[in-house]
Amino acid sequence: MSEEMRDVFGKTLVELGHEFPELVVLDADLHTSSKAVYFKQAFPARFIQCGIAEQNMFGIAAGLATQGFIPFPCTFAVFASQRALDQIAVSIAYPRLNVKIPGSYVGIPTSRAGASHNAVADLAIMRSLPHMRVADPGDNRELRSLMRAAVLTEGPVYFRITRYTLPDLFATDYEFAWGRGVRLREGSDVTLIGTGMMTGLCLEAAELLARDGISAEVLHCGSIKPLDEDLVAESARKTGAVVTAENASVVGGLGSAVAEVLTERAPAVLRRVGVQDRFIESGGIGELLAHHRMRPADIAGRAREALEAKDSRP
């Protein structure tokens, strides 16, 4: 049975800590939730407890980066992207400092925390920052590879950690690369583009569509910024209809990034699955996915809408 993504995050931090002595972890009093606690137990001298003071934590991370450390300031994604945005923008992104920002508890699976703790705008916010790389891994193997790539990549990185157990998508030899997407399923009628936990749901949606004789291509874009524009454009030209799916707001995130590519390089019908410009209520994961129309059946439904729109074009 696969582990929750946050547990894999914590254990991978420890593995990287053994390999990179300059790696340090900062925490905003959430290490038992984010699972940065594993690093604290393994390297207590390299773990800095900043308390519930996110702005200060990111300022400290910036200072450490100027001294050659590789800081991982850990907190919930909503606090990183909103409460400490000024510090991240001015003190980290602007000078291109080597800070790696893991945003945990993203989107729908946030333990009934409600609007104050559910990060749905983080992709839009982080994607808008110059110099910031942004990623949403689709399974635990990609998370591990992404974290290594983040350490080896000079400059600021933001990546998401879903509080959920995701199905395995990739083989043991898979390696994450910035700006590279993956075609997980060949298709000719419609393109489903997922990121994070939604890619697995796109694969399920493709199976539903296949029962009706609809051939769906499934792409995974773990790297959202930079995006694999060539792959997106190539698939859109082939199918003429695209559906994006993200565990985030459709405003400014993956759907917007894909829309930009389609507008400039490969005009196609587009439908976006995700949180529709609203806050997330408190509720169970299944209830919220149904409420926000983000289940495989909903993705398949949007694909049928896109196909109808494509067929009705003059």
Domain regions of the chain by residue span: 5-161, 182-312
Task: Look up the CATH architecture of domain 182-312.
Answer: 3-Layer(aba) Sandwich (3.40)
Residue 190 has pLDDT above 90, yes or no: yes
Residue with tokens 């939730």: 33
Task: Look up the CATH architecture of domain 5-161.
Answer: 3-Layer(aba) Sandwich (3.40)
| pLDDT per residue as tens digits for the range 1-55 | 479 999 999 999 999 999 999 999 999 999 999 999 999 999 999 999 999 999 9
| pLDDT per residue as tens digits for the range 122-170 | 999 999 999 999 999 999 999 999 999 999 999 999 999 998 899 999 9
Residue 111 has pLDDT above 80, yes or no: no
User: Angle formed by the axes of helices 140-152 and 5-19, to 10°?
Assistant: 30
pLDDT at position 116 is 85
Residue with tokens 């890619």: 199
- End-to-end alpha carbon distance in the chain: 50
pLDDT at position 43 is 98
Residue 60 has pLDDT above 80, yes or no: yes
Residue 179 has pLDDT above 90, yes or no: yes
Q: Are 7 and 35 in contact (CB under 8 A)?
A: yes
Residue 244 confidence class, pLDDT cut points 50, 70, 90 = very high
Give dist(CA 273, CA 293) in Å, integer: 7
Residue 104 confidence class, pLDDT cut points 50, 70, 90 = very high
Map the chain to HEC letters.
Answer: CCCCHHHHHHHHHHHHHHHCCCEEEEECCCHHHHCCHHHHHHCHHHEEECCCCHHHHHHHHHHHHHCCCEEEEEEEHHHHHHHCHHHHHHHHHCCCCCCEEEEECECCCCCCCCCCCCECCHHHHHHCCCCCEEECCCCHHHHHHHHHHHHHCCCCEEEEECCCCCCCCCCCCCCCCCCCCEEEECCCCEEEEECCCHHHHHHHHHHHHHCCCCCEEEEECCEEECCCHHHHHHHHHHHCEEEEEEEEECCCCHHHHHHHHHHHHCCCEEEEEEECCCCCCCCCHHHHHHHCCCCHHHHHHHHHHHHHHHHHCC
Kindly state the percentage of the chain with pLDDT values over 90.
Answer: 93
Mean of pLDDT values over 58-80: 97
More confident residue, 94 or 281: 94
pLDDT at position 1 is 45
Average pLDDT, the chain: 96
More confident residue, 78 or 117: 78
Whether the CA torsion 288, 208, 170, 156 is positive or negative: it is negative
5-161 and 182-312 share one CATH topology? yes
Residue 118 confidence class, pLDDT cut points 50, 70, 90 = confident
Mean of pLDDT values over 231-249: 98
| pLDDT per residue as tens digits for the range 26-38 | 999 999 999 999 9
Residue 313 confidence class, pLDDT cut points 50, 70, 90 = confident
pTM for this entry: 0.96
